[in-house]
């Protein structure tokens, strides 16, 4: 095990080359053809480094890739290859390495992590008990892969998520996410001739925005954020319709339930208006208890590998790790590339950290696949 960092350091040029190939195969979630092309590159990478070809699992016309070694029921490694970057982003954000930083669309979130995953597995003589699931729709909330992710998590004893890592910290907790779409109906009228005949949906929207924002509880870590709003058709018409999108982030299931009940209990303020609500809780929180045992194990291994001290951090963003923790499987997130700028112009991977993080993944997998009755908790 202690030789993992040196072995992966020797492979660093190949790892960089593999990330640049993946980055150069653009894969915005909405473009199924592009996603399928990138899936082929990921499949070839995993096959080359593990000696085993994946299963192609088609869901809603989009491929997800699964490797099972033996029963594949000891540890699941989870990742995705879709990105938020539209086709053509390489023209302005080329895949390249400058001053130790690898850049390009999706390098940090999370193609660098996928390369580290497969290079880590390639060090192990025996992969019995390991499974790998790489999906193609994480960036849009996993609509076609969620059931697959949850089913795979239920049959394994631990999940390692290869999402990106800011400043090297592992993600030991993630907030749960609820998303709502509020639609308000009023009544149109001429704003100059007879505004009294109308029922103003924009005014009703304003009442609802204030009521919703008041549901936030900073002391509990709960944010309730009205985001996209629209209403009206012309400047001289009392608006007959309005729409509001709402983002809710919570640290506990109790807070998720509280906010959901309050949102569903909204009543119109203006006579003559009505409210139609869509959406609800999407991802349960990845609470700290789901990762405690795995994080302590990872921190010990990181030290034993001679790599220093490992930190954990709680974050507001969600990942597929929320789903795996939500079905009760111990889950540790943020084991992918170290860098920053996810979804932003400065997205980058710190090249020097790639062998170190891959070595940690290899060590974790080696311990977790050991056939004992101990389950991290």
Q: Of 283, 312, 334, which residue constitutes the final position of a domain?
A: 283
Residue 376 within a domain: no
Provide the domain limits for residue 21: 4-174+285-368
197 with 222, same domain: the answer is: yes
From 18, 138, 139, 152, the catalytic residue: 138
Residue 118 within a domain: yes
Q: Of 258, 283, 308, which residue constitutes the final position of a domain?
A: 283
Helices 112-121 & 12-23, crossing angle to 10 degrees? 140
Q: What CATH number corresponds to the domain at position 264? A: 3.30.70.360
Two structure tokens written together for 367: 């311990």
Q: Is 138 a catalytic residue?
A: yes
133 with 8, same domain: the answer is: yes
CA–CA dist 299, 197 (Å, integer) = 67
Two structure tokens written together for 12: 């660093």
Residue % of the chain over a pLDDT of 90: 92
**Contact partners, residue 162, CB within 8 Å, separation at least 6:** 77, 78, 79, 110, 113, 114, 116, 117, 335, 336, 361
CB 118 within 8 A of CB 46: yes
Query: pLDDT tier at 59 (50, 70, 90 boundaries)?
Result: confident
66 with 185, same domain: the answer is: no
pLDDT per residue as tens digits for the range 131-171:
999 999 999 989 999 999 999 999 999 999 999 998 899 99
CA–CA dist 377, 195 (Å, integer) = 63
CA–CA dist 208, 341 (Å, integer) = 34
From 26, 82, 137, 204, the catalytic residue: 82
Q: Is 333 a catalytic residue?
A: no
Residue 377 within a domain: no
23 with 168, same domain: the answer is: yes
pLDDT at 250 over 90: yes
Q: Of 248, 264, 283, which residue constitutes the final position of a domain?
A: 283
Residue 213 within a domain: yes
Two structure tokens written together for 43: 């499949």
CA–CA dist 354, 371 (Å, integer) = 28
150 with 289, same domain: the answer is: yes
183 with 85, same domain: the answer is: no
Q: What CATH number corresponds to the domain at position 58? A: 3.40.630.10
Domains in the chain, number? 2
Residue 260 within a domain: yes
87 with 235, same domain: the answer is: no
pLDDT at 375 over 80: no
Mean pLDDT of the chain: 95
**Contact partners, residue 371, CB within 8 Å, separation at least 6:** 74, 129
Residue 92 within a domain: yes
225 with 264, same domain: the answer is: yes
> Residue 58: its pLDDT value, please?
87
120 with 67, same domain: the answer is: yes
Which among 360, 359, 343 has a CA at the least distance from the CA of 83?
Answer: 343
270 with 351, same domain: the answer is: no
Residue 374 within a domain: no
Residue 211 within a domain: yes
234 with 298, same domain: the answer is: no
**Contact partners, residue 174, CB within 8 Å, separation at least 6:** 283, 285, 286, 314, 315, 316, 317, 318, 319, 321, 322, 333
pLDDT at 373 over 70: no
**Residue written as tokens 């795996």?**
324
Task: Give the CA count within 13 Å in the CB-facing half-sphere of 205.
Answer: 24
21 with 89, same domain: the answer is: yes
pLDDT per residue as tens digits for the range 316-371:
888 999 999 999 999 999 999 999 998 899 999 999 999 999 999 999 999 999 85
């Amino acid at each position: 095990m202690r030789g993992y960092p040196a072995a992966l350091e020797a492979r660093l040029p190949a790892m960089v080359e593999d990330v640049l190939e993946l980055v150069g195969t653009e894969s915005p979630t909405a473009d199924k053809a592009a996603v399928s092309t990138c899936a082929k590159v990921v499949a070839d990478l995993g096959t080359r480094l593990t000696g085993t070809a994946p299963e192609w699992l088609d869901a809603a016309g989009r491929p997800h890739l699964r490797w099972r070694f033996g029963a594949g029921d000891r540890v699941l490694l989870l990742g995705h290859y879709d990105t938020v970057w539209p086709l053509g982003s390489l023209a302005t954000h080329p895949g390249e390495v400058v001053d130790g930083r690898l850049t390009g669309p999706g390098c940090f979130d999370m193609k660098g992590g996928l390369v580290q995953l497969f290079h880590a597995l390639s060090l192990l003589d025996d992969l019995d008990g390991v499974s790998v699931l790489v999906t193609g729709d994480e960036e849009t909330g996993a609509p076609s892969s969620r059931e697959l992710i949850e089913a795979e998590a239920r049959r394994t004893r631990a999940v390692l998520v290869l999402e990106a890592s800011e400043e090297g910290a592992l993600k030991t907790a993630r907030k749960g996410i609820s998303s709502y779409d509020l639609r308000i109906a009023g009544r149109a009228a001429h704003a100059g001739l007879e505004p009294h005949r109308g029922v103003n949906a924009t005014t009703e929207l304003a009442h609802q925005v204030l009521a919703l924002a008041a549901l936030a509880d900073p002391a509990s870590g709960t944010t309730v954020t009205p985001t996209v709003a629209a209403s009206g058709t012309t400047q001289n018409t009392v608006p007959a319709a309005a729409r509001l999108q709402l983002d809710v982030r919570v640290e506990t299931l109790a807070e998720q339930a509280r906010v959901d009940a309050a949102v569903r209990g909204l009543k119109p303020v203006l006579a003559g208006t009505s409210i139609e609500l869509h959406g609800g809780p999407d991802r349960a929180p990845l609470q700290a208890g789901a990762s405690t045992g795995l994080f302590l194990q990872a921190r010990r291994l990181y030290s034993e590998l001679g790599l220093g001290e490992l930190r954990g951090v709680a974050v507001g963003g969600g990942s597929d790790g929320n789903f795996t923790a939500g079905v009760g499987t111990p889950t540790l997130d943020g084991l992918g590339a170290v860098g920053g700028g996810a979804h932003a112009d400065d997205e980058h991977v710190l090249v020097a950290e790639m062998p170190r993080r891959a070595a940690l993944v290899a060590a974790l997998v080696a311990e977790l696949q050991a056939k004992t009755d101990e389950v991290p908790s």
